[in-house]
Amino acid sequence: MAFTVHPYRHDSSAPSFGLEAARALGVAPARVFKTLLAEVDDDLVVAVVPVSGSLDLKGLARAAAGKRAVMAATSKAERTTGYVVGGISPFGQRKRLPTIVDESVFGYPTVYVSAGRRGLDVEIAPSDLVRVTTAKTATIARTS
């Protein structure tokens, strides 16, 4: 599995961590994916979607075979993953959770996800991202 780590200078005043990463790395926002935590029927699920859009909670609930999805509280997301919001990585979380990656990931030879802190992303092939996280893919993103 090949990957490349890309550090960049994080600006704490940036309104969007994902769009900041895309701008700093010089790549299209659709290639940078954010890692979010949601609760589907009270169970935590990791959702990985492009920063150019937003998470479709109904789509996530369907993909996770649940009825209802809501965003997890920031404190719960940080405590469960071991990462701070804006730096949550789909890799190396404290607890292995079901993961669903938006299927748009396959539209690019490589994509970028957080490497575990603000100002650090990893570039990886979509198939490797899905394999390493043992993710399911589904339509879980809305375009803005």
Write the pLDDT tens digit of every residue in 43-79: 999 999 999 999 999 999 999 999 999 999 999 999 9
Structure tokens at 137: 């893919």
Structure tokens at 121: 């992303």
CATH number, position 14? 3.90.960.10
Domain coverage including residue 16 = 3-143
How much is the pLDDT for 1? 78
Contact 89, 83 (CB under 8 A): yes
* Distance between CA atoms of residues 101 and 126, nearest Å: 9
How much is the pLDDT for 8? 92
Query: Which residues, given as ranges, of the chain have pLDDT below 50?
Result: none
Contact 99, 48 (CB under 8 A): yes
CA distances from 68 to 43, 100, 139 (A): 10, 15, 16
User: Structurally, how many domains does the chain consist of?
Assistant: 1
